[in-house]
Structure 1
Amino acid sequence: MTIERTVMTSHDEPHGGSTTRLNWLRAAVLGANDGIVSTAGVIVGVAGATTARAPILTAGIAALVAGALSMGVGEYVSVSTQRDTEKALLEKERRELAETPDEELSELTSIYAGKGLDADLAHQVAVQLTAHDALGAHAEVELQIDPDNLTSPWHAAGASALAFFVGALLPLLAVLISSPNWHVPVIGAAVIFALVLTGVISARLGGMGPGRQVARNVIGGTLAMAVTYGIGSLVGLAL
């Protein structure tokens, strides 16, 4: 058995690419779910106070824009911080490789020995990987970072904002197509349908049965709408 077949890297194209795509899909589904629930909660809350379409749509559009921007900014800050941390760790590893190469080689050998390779093979693997790409080899096994594939904060921010925006459109469309007295039932039905759909997709991406995920989505979303509708109704009576 050759060393190349013995050692599989976590950033090999088929596996790494599939994992990255799944992570993006999960993030998109969660972003859409947030857009659906939060925007529907605002709209239903206002609908509890008034049946007039104009204030309901105004509140819904404001919730959509504010939510999408908040998601985008939050994701940008989060991923930027993660990226800066990864860059600092890579720079530290690069410096250690330049200053203490023998110690780093010994460390890499120990890591592969700890994974089950015998001492001689672990040393041989460490030597060959160091000769090929020392920083990449150490970053992978020590830091779980691919130096050539750091997450872009701009991509993450754009994807999160877009996912939220798409999800938030659903309750707004429900307001547009329903009559004033039917706003809340139509929004509720549309949101429950969407939450079932995102629950099924989330479960499929996670490789599990959809029942529990769908139940969590529907119960959480329904509870949020019920609470905001109740508060809106009380405010409407008070005003």
Structure 2
Amino acid sequence: MLITPPKVNSNYKIGIIEDDALLAQMLRTLLQADHRVESVILAHDLREGLDLIATRSMDFLIVDIGLPDGDGTTAIQQVRTTQPDCTVMVYSVFEDDARLFKALQAGAHGYIQKQDATEGFLETLLNRQDGCVVSPAIAKRMVGFFAEIVLPTASTTADKNILSARENEVLVFISQGKSLNEISRVMGLSQHTTKTYLRRIYEKLEVNSKLLAVQKAKENFWI
């Protein structure tokens, strides 16, 4: 697996968002021991982390996603928007699929478990691939997750046919966030007809909300 060369500049500015003060200080000590590091700034909750992102330019941001006042993925989204050149690494005890993929979808460049952190942490940041760096345990979970994904089968396609073409079209528009008024206008239907299609979708998919209808359709590769 090819690895991109480290950044050629030094004097790295690193931010850490970690609510455990002892762990944060330990990580800061590890990073400051490297002569290439100019500064390491700590934030101990999401509010402080967002302030850090808004006021300090950083080369790297290390984020714990389990913060006392919110989800660390909010900080990931914010820094990826305002400082797109900043490398973002999740540093967390969590390894469940939901947190892992939520963090990566938010824009994290890697996901390292706290128990896997070593004195080479800076090299992990510098040598990250353009894709993603993860702990061995996290990599194993990712492989397992994708191995369980099964391509749509004939039965799945048949299930999709429980919706008519027009009902499926309405469902696609709903998944795009369009309102019933917008769907009616785009499809040239009356609001009454659009509501009738939506009611039939609920009945056929055995759900009672737009969110559940879209979720079921996506889980089964229907849309």
TM-score by length of 2: 0.26
- Richer in helix (by share): 1
Higher Rg: 1
Q: TM-score, normalised by structure 1?
A: 0.25
